[in-house]
Structure 1
């Protein structure tokens, strides 16, 4: 299992505003400042995106919707977020908790719901609380020191308790309802997804699905994970190169980082990341800079 993180997607920080201010807990403030100095709002969003994509494992399963995960996979997703955030920030493990941040023990808690379940061993410690709504492309992250006064009385069968309303209101947010890097396939209509995935799962159909993806998704970045989920093949990047040949006669140009792509994205004012592809129409209007 790889802990490598994707290149930083600082466009994920669009529409994200860090929550200023201080808490009544100096240690929480120190952890928040440490994270803020390292562009945590963007980096956590990218880490959550990678964790979701890796657990979905689209290249092997064709899955793109978090609702299709098994219960055990949804549980593991929290561990995956923990691992990738640790790698992304270069964090050490704490002696008792998941991370050591600014010399403070910090536990990682992730949810795809509206609340977190807190184990007894986290009592007295700071938690990095993260959550994601992949259907709406939103994520949040915040810090909170756990004590019994901010937890609901009831326990689940694992002895965990959820945050009370007072607990949720006490969170020091790093980012609240920030923009999660988009799940391209989830953003499409049912009609478009059905058209893309309608071909059977053989090699030739992998190319047909890739062609249909770029035919239907226009004027937006299509990342590598989207392509491999659609093509479901080891040589999925080749499907992109071949799609360029098939779709060129239809007036579709590809912009990206590949040397095979003739049109420079930067001439259109777009800076794609590695492993991203875009498919704007050739009819895209563009006016050269005044000095060029």
Structure 2
């Protein structure tokens, strides 16, 4: 998305103010309030993108790895997920809000393509800026004056530079969960996937990425095995937990180990996330053992 957006001109007195404000209020209410909208839309976008990348089955790790048809499908997926999130019905266009036909447009780029049937109709604009991990949710009445003169082979036009001034933003430059693999140096990523077994890859992951929540789908992708959860359990001295415990590193689950995570002053983890940490004292190792994570004490005994 463009990093320099013009200020919105949607205010009392603007021809679209009353309609867009009413639609924005309805959308916000349906989401459960602005705070919930700010939480749920970014999370939804992350899921839509990751579910198409599907690292665990395809080995791909980035949006750029997708085929053209898959990139197109993300837009369809966002439309479906947004309707479900807001409990919106299907309409003559994509949906109907307060009796108005509304089109839903999504982009991973810097603009949206408006079809002829949506001209002069209100549109929900959704954008995900994957490199910057920022997202956008806005409303516009797609008037012809707000669109470019040029059109593509399907007679679709994009929003003109001046047209951006007529967008009412609900979310603008809002952070959303970054692609996990973009957060790591390429050498680290390559090192993780270089392992010749699930345990080896998992041990490298949790050794390299410590004190940072790791989503469940990342664990599944790295294990690349059906019973991926087995890879992070103790396994007769050969499991990932066993391997890392020898070096005083503990792997914790967000739901099961919430108290220990807090006691070790680690970042909050959701119920579907994991986190690893190098224990620094024998007292911490004994605390971990009392919570069911034995094995790290030996590291300090040897030291």
Mapped pair 1:216 → 2:208:
yes
Number of aligned residue pairs: give it: 262
Paired with 1:211 and 1:64, the residues of 2 have a C-alpha distance of 19
> Which residue of the partner structure matches residue 3 of structure 2?
none
Which secondary structure state, in structure 2, belongs to the residue aligned with residue 142 of structure 1?
Answer: strand
Deviation at 1:206, TM superposition (A): 2.1
> Which residue of the partner structure matches residue 120 of structure 2?
124
Paired with 1:243 and 1:20, the residues of 2 have a C-alpha distance of 56
Deviation at 1:269, TM superposition (A): 7.1
TM-score by length of 1: 0.82
Alignment of 1:267-278 (within 5 A): 267=263, 268=265, 270-278=267-275
Contact 1:31–1:104 (CA under 8 A) maintained in structure 2: no
Mapped pair 1:50 → 2:42:
no
Deviation at 1:20, TM superposition (A): 12
Deviation at 1:146, TM superposition (A): 0.7
Residue 75 of structure 2, aligned match among 73, 78, 90? 78
Unaligned runs of 5+ in 2: 1-7, 234-238, 285-303
TM-score by length of 2: 0.79
Deviation at 1:251, TM superposition (A): 2.0
Paired with 2:173 and 2:104, the residues of 1 have a C-alpha distance of 18
Paired with 1:168 and 1:20, the residues of 2 have a C-alpha distance of 9
> Which residue of the partner structure matches residue 109 of structure 1?
105
Deviation at 1:165, TM superposition (A): 0.6
Paired with 1:244 and 1:185, the residues of 2 have a C-alpha distance of 22
Contact 1:62–1:230 (CA under 8 A) maintained in structure 2: no
- Structure 1 or 2, whichever has the larger Rg, is 2
Unaligned runs of 5+ in 1: 1-18, 287-292
> Residues 21 and 245 of structure 1: is their aligned pair in 2 closer, same or farther, counting only changes over 3 Å?
farther
Contact 1:134–1:180 (CA under 8 A) maintained in structure 2: no
Alignment of 1:111-260 (within 5 A): 111-200=107-196, 205-241=197-233, 242-259=239-256
Deviation at 1:66, TM superposition (A): 0.3
Deviation at 1:234, TM superposition (A): 2.1
Paired with 1:76 and 1:143, the residues of 2 have a C-alpha distance of 22
Contact 1:27–1:104 (CA under 8 A) maintained in structure 2: no
* RMSD after superposition: 2.4
Paired with 2:260 and 2:9, the residues of 1 have a C-alpha distance of 39
Which secondary structure state, in structure 1, belongs to the residue aligned with residue 182 of structure 2?
Answer: coil
